Amino acid sequence: MAYEVTLITGDGVGPDLAAAARQCVDATGVKINWDVQEAGLDVMERCGTPLPDAVMESIRRTRCTLKAPITTPVGTGFRSINVHLRQTLGLYACLRPCKHYPGVRTFFGETPVDLIIVRENTEDLYAGIEFEAGKPETGELIDYLNKISPKRQIKSGREETGVSIKPISVSGTERIVRFAFEYARDNGRKKVTAVHKANIMKHSDGLFLATARKVAEEFSNSNIEFEDRIVDNMCMQLVQKPELYDVLVLPNLYGDIISDLAAGLVGGLGMAPGANIGPDGAVFEATHGSAPKYKGMNKVNPTALILSGMLMLRYLKETEASNRLEQAVAAVIAEGKEVTYDMKPNRDDPTAVGTREMAEAICRKL
């Protein structure tokens, strides 16, 4: 059986990483018909858009995409392609495993960190409902908010205050918490922790927590423990005793932040794969960005996107191939010979290899 998969090559270091991940997935023996598509800054210069219609058509057709990093300008320019894809395609669940592999340099190398971050992808502040300071509609909104909530006055100077709205729904929370429990059940996990700030944001995070508790009751006979943590305390807990945690389920913004923190525990974003999953398909991508300063240099660590390919194989029910790919990655890292500069004890180590050479080493292990 052959699978149709969209491969988005991205920009910056994206093309190097896409080639490495494709090579490793192919080396498992699983038959993939790749539909290669371009998106990002380079495409925007040629086509006037970073996400051409052909890319979206391919993603919708194959329902399975491996995407290399794409640059999002800070503060100006087009809105994040990643956010657009998640919201447009209904990819409500962001799955980000953070697992320590022996041989990776980290302050937590002696700690058995093996976390699954389950992040809600479509709501919260990332819904993008914003009002710019200085705009008439922003002033009208502030005046209205001050009128209905006089005890919580917002500074209403028209040039002074920008506003973002944080929507969290019962239905959105139910499906992401249920996803977390089902993932835990299907993968032999023992505990789900809901992360929130319900002590302060009682009607948004409070709703998230109350809904999570109701969903947890549905799984009361599954031997999966449920607990909750306030997000700032969760950050401290992960740094002090990450081995106590298993599956974390979080609203969108906290999930983004905590997944980077957890990646830091296991060696950095170069070790952090990701999956965005919805009812009609999935997009697999590394957690890190496009690192444009390294474009075309064959230098950066390909592990995160290769492990994203591993998650893709697991999604396609190619479990044996997925396990072999992860084992091959782990073996190359443990040997520490054919790895990129960031995985060497000394970053100036002349024995460090490039992106392509590390991928070839993983293929040989396969």
Q: List the catalytic residues.
A: 126, 197, 232, 256
3-state DSSP of the chain: CEEEEEEECCCCCHHHHHHHHHHHHHHCCCEEEEEEECCCHHHHHHHCCCCCHHHHHHHHHHCEEEECCCCCCCCCCCCCHHHHHHHHCCCCEEEEEEECCCCCCCCCCCCCCEEEEEEECCCHHHHCCEECCCCHHHHHHHHHHHHHCCCCCCCCCCCCCCEECCCCCHHHHHHHHHHHHHHHHHCCCCEEEEEECCCCCCCCHHHHHHHHHHHHHHCCCCCCEEEEEEHHHHHHHHHHCHHHCCEEEECHHHHHHHHHHHHHHCCCHHHCEEEEEECCEEEEEECCCCCHHHCCCCCCCCHHHHHHHHHHHHHCCCHHHHHHHHHHHHHHHHHCCCCCHHHCCCCCCCCCCCHHHHHHHHHHHC
Residue 274 near residue 287, CB atoms below 8 Å? yes
Residue 30 near residue 318, CB atoms below 8 Å? yes
Residue count of the chain, please give it. 366
Residue 28 near residue 326, CB atoms below 8 Å? no
